[in-house]
Amino acid sequence: MTTVAAYAAPAAKAPLERTTIERRAVGEHDVLIDIRFAGICHSDIHQAREGWGTAIFPMVPGHEIAGVVSEVGPGVTKYAVGDRVGVGCMVDSCRECDNCKAGLQQYCTGGGPTWTYNAVGKDGQPTYGGYSQKVVVDENYVVRIPDGLSLDVAAPLLCAGITTYSPLKHWNAGPGKKVAVVGLGGLGHMGVKIAAALGAEVTVLSQSLRKKDDGLKLGATHYYATSDPKTFENLKGTFDIILNTVSAPLDFDAYLSLLKTDGAMVNVGIPEEPVHILLSSVFGNRRSLSSSGIGGIPETQEMLDFCAEHDLGAEIELIGADQINEAYDRVVNSDVRYRFVIDTATI
């Protein structure tokens, strides 16, 4: 066991504070990672504040982890000391179900994936995330960060990047397709970058035009304010894909009206409240309302390689660990452009 410093929420809705946690000894197929940077995802806030239900405390959040391998187990074949690596939202799964064998570990049907934090591992111990100095992870749930990506801007790709890349690939975003991204935040700004790099014509749908210049610089061709009723009138039947990145309830019927025949609205933000739709909104034009959860390990590596090839890092604000609680409040108030990343040397 190794004792490391970390920042944890001692209880639901309590401020995060510096503490120490125990990491397991490096096993046969484990790698020990010196964490350099950890992104702050809105999911961290939902869980630390129990917005998604009862959670495990003390909680060390963080599933956007970038660092360097400092030790490997004797059976490790994929990584060596000094390799630049990342860890995303999961650190294990059953490995035996059809989804796991197909590289879709995020949809594991053999008990579900073991999440990077706020979960219980196969050893019966709670998992702790990336707001810490080190982490021990099985090599099969670690990905390689290409040399073309700086570790600080790569960290958010381990959630925000793959969460947007996976549905855009699945629903065939590319040349000739019109993609709307709802919300220009931590997820949305990566959705714009990735959709544009895939060759799609990208439109941002945001509450206001406040971030329009940013959206266009990130790769969008069009930018509309959803607070303007004319937006929904003028854009009816326009899009092949709507990628909804916000975690608040929307007027889904209004957004579904913007889809072409056979278009899909894919939700990657998860509101804490139930949502409401009229089935007539999907009935008339064979539209789909769907969702998508992160990506499997192979696709996460594919995403990182794609981002390195196209020079797609996250837009970040680097902070010290003593700013985490302030950053949480700022995320809730949409006051970040576009992802907070913790310099874990400050822990």
3-state secondary structure 260-299: EEEEEEEECCCCCCCCCCCCHHHHCCCCEEEECCCCCHHH
Q: What is the mean pLDDT of the segment spanning 65-73?
A: 98
pLDDT at 284: 83
Q: Tens of pLDDT along 247-304?
A: 888 999 999 999 999 999 999 988 888 889 999 999 989 999 999 999 999 999 999 9
Q: Where are the alpha helices (DSSP H) in 200-257?
A: 212-218, 229-234, 252-256
Q: What is the mean pLDDT of the segment spanning 186-198?
A: 97
> Phi then psi for 101, rounded to 5 degrees?
-65, -25
Q: Would you say residue 145 has pLDDT above 90? A: yes
Q: C-alpha 300: how far from its chain's center?
A: 11
Other beta carbons within 10 Å of 341: 24
For the record, the structure tokens of 71 come out as 């030790």
User: What span, in angstroms and rounded, lies between the C-alpha atoms of 106 and 68?
Assistant: 24
Q: What is the mean pLDDT of the chain?
A: 96
User: What span, in angstroms and rounded, lies between the C-alpha atoms of 188 and 60?
Assistant: 25
Q: How many CA atoms lie within 13 A of 271 on its CB side?
A: 12
What is the DSSP secondary-structure string of 191-205? Answer: HHHHHHHTT-EEEEE
pLDDT at 80: 98
pLDDT at 173: 98
Whole-prediction pTM value? Answer: 0.95
Burial string for 201-231 (b: 16+ CB within 10 Å, else e) reads bbbbbbeeeebbebbeebbbebbbebeeeee
Q: What is the mean pLDDT of the segment spanning 52-63?
A: 96
User: What span, in angstroms and rounded, lies between the C-alpha atoms of 158 and 138?
Assistant: 16
pLDDT at 247: 85
User: What span, in angstroms and rounded, lies between the C-alpha atoms of 8 and 105?
Assistant: 27
Q: Would you say residue 347 has pLDDT above 90? A: yes
The amino acid at residue 295 is G
User: What span, in angstroms and rounded, lies between the C-alpha atoms of 125 and 24?
Assistant: 10
User: What span, in angstroms and rounded, lies between the C-alpha atoms of 195 and 211?
Assistant: 18
Q: What is the mean pLDDT of the segment spanning 88-117?
A: 97
